[in-house]
A and B are shown apart, each in its own frame.
Chain A
Amino acid sequence: MSEKEANTIEETKTEAPAPVAEPSVAPEAPASGGALAGVRLRLVAVGRLVTSRGRGHYGRLIAGLLFLVICLGTAYQLRHGLVFDVVEKPTSGPAISEFPSELTAGELVRMGQGALEGQDVDTAARFLEEARIRAERGQPDDINLFVDVFEGLARVAEIQGRPRVAELYRDYVRRKQAELGRSLPLFSAAERDFHAGELAAARRNYARFLLTQAALGEAGSRYVQRARRRLAEIWEMEFERKSGGLANVVDLAEPKEFFDERR
């Protein structure tokens, strides 16, 4: 097992909440000090190796150039490298899971989102992780499903106080969305504003996103729908905030004053 793989597994054990052995996102160096040290160690080893093999100036030059190329390659990988390493991907046999096998990945995501709404972070994490596994097995091309799964996992990581991991998940979400259309980052920005309670900014970004809806394909229609729903929600929230909260309809139906002397 390579050092990187070892780090990946270590990251899975310490960071990801999934109960299954299959690793989730394997954030590289920045997410873990051990991983960064491993990369550094590997570079030094390669450097020594290539320089020791060279003979004379010409040989050292070639070795140096080779070292430089490896360095640049590694740097590029680090810069853009949210790597989804699948350590062991089972190819056959039933999944050992605590969830009924009839549940689809989409249903699991919705359950996870429901648990998140109820602030039950651990349960949400378990649902979402299972959803991720089933999505990888059954619907590997469903971009929207993956976006939902990783957006949910990002929120879990955020609540659990792991902002770096959350950001890595979000980075993946953004890149997946970019596959759908150039304006989807606007949608993501609006969602971030919305969850941060910045309603005016969220409203502006949802509107900007909706202005480009014809550029989105069929897969983008659900974002259009979600943006419209969020806009409705934002106006409702603004109204509630300004009016001091909408009364429960049953309380509203209570008579409020008796023996009104003004009558």
Chain B
Amino acid sequence: MSVVERAIVVLLLAASVTAQTQDLSVKAIQKGSQNFEIDIRSGSATVADCLAAIASACGLEVQVAKPENAAILSREKVDVELTGTSLESLVELLAMAIGLDGEVELDRRLIVIAESPAEGDDAAALEHCRSDAITALIAAYGGSEDAQDEVELLLRSARLELAGGEYSQAFDTYQDFLSNFKKHPAVPEATVAAAHAAFEADRHEDLQRIVQEFLGSYPDHPLVGRCQLIAARSRLRTGDLGGGMGLLKGLIRQARERVLPQRDGMLAELLLAETLHERGEDEAAIAGLAEAEIRYDRKLDQDLIRQIRFYMAICRRATGNLRDALHDLEVAAFEVPNDALRVRTLLLYADLLLESGNPLVALTSTRSALTLNPQGETLFRARRLAARAYRRMQLEDEASKEMLALVLDAPKLLPDPELRRRELSQSLREIGEIYLDKGLVHDAVASFKAVINAAEHHADELDPARRELVAECRYLIAVAQARAGRHREAVETLDSITEGISSESLAHEIRRLKGDCYFESGLPEAAMRVWKEGEGR
């Protein structure tokens, strides 16, 4: 915003002075360092005059964001008669009365008038409405001695805090309600919401406490299952796998006995299967999911039951059973209840088809996914799968085109920085592999080095997956160097791989390549020693 666009009224007077014009009188008393208390009376003065008089009385400046806003201020008239009102609330009301937004920035000595952010439809407008709703609730219900008013204030504010992702604050607000209105009919729902807020805010001890209190007071309430489900998730997140899985199994048993609602049982089944899958117990996960699919009433909770085949496919793939995984995905593509899951299904299907050597059908599957959602993460993943498919079909030029496009578009397609970093590293490595296939050694090495740099840039948080990626890239650099006849450099690169070799196949490849390099460098004895070392293991 340029200076020219700003209409600035500068009036500096000491605080606690009275500004008096024909129909307008303002008296400001400074209360502490951060607020003023204003008495104001005006008979149909323009808002600009009111603001100028207020600013004058408080020793502030008025800053108006745009000339058109300044025109509104000069044109619109208001009657004002307020006593002992806070400066902030007065400015806010004056601006709101003419459809604008007003804020006081005492540290900058400014009253800022701008267009109301609430008019838009973007995230800023949403946040503005949310925070103003909370402020307005406090103004409307705060300080009331009526208990019902306090309930309204607490529950409605907490709901808005929860919706805005202010989980810790939301938990505190719900906690206030739960402590002060123990017998209120809204306690069960508020407990579920508070537990959810505590879970998202990682306040796991608080979560377990309120869930226990609820179970003690309302042992037979229909929301008991939902509370236990959140408690189970909390235990899993804090690493108490035994406790979490125990709670989930208890929930499943009670749901199967129809003591708890089927939906809670279904959710517990899916969470348990997911946990088992993460622990590598995929056979148990598949068995649980298969039983859930037939045990529960398909007429109820269809949205959950129709997801089962997709999760079974993920588990089957982890067991190496590609054939059944592909079959499950073919069923899931028709069954899953929404497009987001259908896209995930189609992309996993493409991935598995690539693994099973069917790149052409894989390409078709990525295209289908793109028709459902041609943007964001889906576009990124579909392009990468398409590039892999082209590579399998030995269409390296097409593959590198897709890969380069997705690397360039990654910042806008993947807004989550952690996900972007991870996906970009993978993509760069794949580009390097394509270059390697095409014999462009220099370009290949450059790509692999970019991945290593990106990963090591965050050296403090090198997780096992990232270490593995770095090791793999170093190996691929060594492959490129060996292909270029730079065997000594290749051996040095291989020697630099000291960690991240998690798979035996990579370790074997490294030893084989190192032996090859020794051999090519005219050191057959050293080559034999390295090769034998590999065989000995």
Report if A243-B226 is in contact (Cβ < 8 Å); known contacts: A211-B94, A212-B81.
no
Q: Is A84 an interface residue (CB 8 A)?
A: no
> Which of B97, B118, B314 makes the CB contact (< 8 A) with A208?
B97
B140→A249 contact, CB < 8 A: no
Q: Does B214 sit at the interface, judged by CB under 8 A?
A: no
Give Cα distance in the complex from A235 to B130, angstroms.
Answer: 7
**Is A178 located at the chain interface by the 8 A CB criterion?**
no
Whether B311 contacts A215 by the Cβ 8 Å rule is: no
Q: Which listed residue (A204, A208, A238, A253) contacts B193, Cβ 8 A?
A: A253
Q: Point out the residues of chain A lying under 8 angstroms from B226, CB to CB.
A: 250, 253-254
Chain A nearest CB from B29 CB (Å) reads 16
- Nearest CB of A to B262, in Å: 14
Beta-carbon contact of A207 and B97 below 8 Å: yes
Which among A228, A239, A243, A255 has the highest number of chain B CB atoms within 10 Å?
A: A239
Given contacts A215-B81, A253-B193, A258-B311, contact A239 B230 (CB under 8 A): no
- B405 proximal to A (CB < 8 A): no
Please give the residue numbers on chain B whose beta carbons come within 8 Å of chain A beta carbons, in ascending order. 41, 78-83, 93-94, 96-99, 118-119, 121, 125-126, 129-130, 132-133, 136-137, 139-141, 156, 159-160, 162-163, 189-190, 192-193, 195-196, 223, 226, 229-230, 233, 267, 270-271, 273-274, 277, 307, 310-311, 314, 344, 348, 377, 419
Chain A binding site: helix, strand, loop or mixed by DSSP?
helix
A219-253 interface mask toward B, CB cutoff 8 Å, 1 = contact, 0 = none?
Answer: 00000010011011011101100110011011011
Contacts of B41 in A (CB 8 A): 214
With contacts A228-B136, A242-B129, A259-B311 taken as known, whether A204 is within 8 angstroms of B160 at the C-beta atoms is no
CB <8 Å contact, A261 and B344: yes
- 28 CB contacts below 8 A, A to B, read A182-B79, A200-B119, A204-B96, A204-B98, A207-B94, A211-B82, A212-B81, A212-B82, A213-B81, A214-B83, A228-B139, A231-B140, A232-B136, A235-B130, A235-B132, A242-B129, A243-B163, A249-B162, A249-B189, A249-B190, A252-B196, A253-B192, A253-B230, A254-B226, A255-B233, A255-B271, A262-B377, A262-B419
A32 within 8 Å of B by Cβ?
no
Given the complex, which residues of B lie within 8 Å of A252, measured CB to CB? 162, 193, 196
Distance of A117 Cα from B119 Cα, bound (Å): 28
Q: Which residues of B have CB within 8 Å of A214?
A: 41, 81-83
Collect the chain A residues with CB atoms within 8 Å of residue B133's CB. Answer: 232, 235-236, 238-239
Interface check A210, CB cutoff 8 A = yes
Instruction: Give chain A residues whose Cβ lies under 8 Å from the Cβ of B344.
Output: 261
In the bound complex, CA of A204 to CA of B141 (Å): 20
> With A and B bound together, what is the CA distance between A213 and B85 in angstroms?
10
A211 to B93, Cβ gap below 8 A?
A: yes
CA distance A247 to B344 in the complex (A): 24
Task: Say yes or no: A203-B163 contact (C-beta < 8 A), given A232-B140, A253-B226.
Answer: no
Question: Distance (Å) between the CB of B67 and the closest chain A CB?
Answer: 21
Interchain CA distance A215-B81 in the complex, whole Å: 6
A-B contact count (CB 8 A): 129
Question: Is the CB–CB distance between A211 and B267 below 8 Å?
Answer: no
Give CA–CA (A236, B136) in the complex, Å. 9
Which residues on the B side are within 8 Å of A183 (C-beta)? 79
Q: Could you tell me the distance in whole angstroms from the C-beta of B251 to the nearest C-beta in chain A? A: 13
Report A125 CB to chain B, min CB distance, Å.
27
Contact: A203 with B82, CB < 8 Å? no
Given A208-B78, A236-B160, A239-B126, A250 and B96 contact (CB-CB distance below 8 Å): no
Nearest-neighbour CB distance to chain A for B312, whole angstroms, equals 10
Q: Chain A: which residue is nearest B314 at the CB level?
A: A259
* Contact present for B129 and A210 (CB under 8 Å): no
Given A212-B79, A214-B82: A239 in contact with B348 (beta carbons within 8 A): no
**How does the 8 Å CB contact mask read for A73-109 relative to B, with 1 for contact and 0 for none?**
0000000000000000000000000000000000000
In whole angstroms, how far apart are the Cα atoms of A213 and B348 in the complex? 63
CB neighbours of B156 from chain A (8 A): 232, 236
Question: Is B99 a contact partner of A204 (Cβ separation < 8 A)?
Answer: yes
Interface residues of A in 26-53 (CB under 8 A from B): none
B159 touches A249 (CB 8 A): yes
Knowing A238-B129, A259-B277, A262-B419, the reply to whether A213 touches B82 (Cβ < 8 A) is yes
Q: Are B159 and A246 in touch, CB under 8 angstroms?
A: yes
Q: A239-B129, A253-B226 are in contact. List 17 more A-B contacts (CB 8 A).
A: A200-B99, A204-B97, A211-B79, A212-B82, A214-B41, A232-B137, A235-B130, A236-B137, A249-B189, A249-B193, A250-B189, A250-B193, A253-B229, A254-B226, A254-B267, A258-B270, A259-B274
CB closest chain-A residue, reference B223: A250
Contact of B271 among A182, A242, A258 (CB under 8 A): A258
Q: A residues within 8 A CB of B139? A: 228, 231-232
**Docked pose: A261 CA to B83 CA in angstroms:** 60
Closest chain B residue to A260, Cβ basis: B274
Report how far A78 CA is from B126 CA in the complex, Å. Answer: 50
CB distance from B265 to the nearest CB of A (A): 13
Q: How far is the CA of A183 from the CA of B129 in the complex (A)?
A: 27
Across the interface, do A261 and B314 meet the contact criterion of CB distance under 8 Å? yes
Task: With CB as the reference atom, state the residue of chain A lying closest to B174.
Answer: A249
Which 6 A/B pairs are nearest by Cβ-Cβ distance?
A235-B133, A253-B196, A232-B136, A207-B96, A249-B193, A228-B140
Docked pose: A215 CA to B83 CA in angstroms: 10
Docked pose: A213 CA to B190 CA in angstroms: 35
Residues of chain A within 8 A (CB-CB) of B97 are: 204, 207-208, 211
* Given A242-B125, A249-B189, A258-B307: A210 and B93 interface contact (C-beta under 8 Å): yes
Is A246 a contact of B99 with CB atoms below 8 Å? no
In the complex, A235 Cα to B271 Cα: how many Å? 37
Q: In whole angstroms, what is the CA distance A200 to B119 when docked?
A: 9
**Pair B274/A258 contact, Cβ less than 8 Å:** yes
Chain B residues positioned under 8 Å from A261 (CB to CB): 314, 344, 348
Collect the chain A residues with CB atoms within 8 Å of residue B277's CB: 259
Chain A: minimal CB distance from B307 (Å): 7
User: How far is it, in angstroms, between the C-alpha of A258 and the C-alpha of B348 when the chains are bound?
Assistant: 14
A203 to B310, CA, bound (A): 49
* Cα(A213)–Cα(B137), bound, Å: 18
A158-186 contacts to B (CB < 8 Å) = 182-183
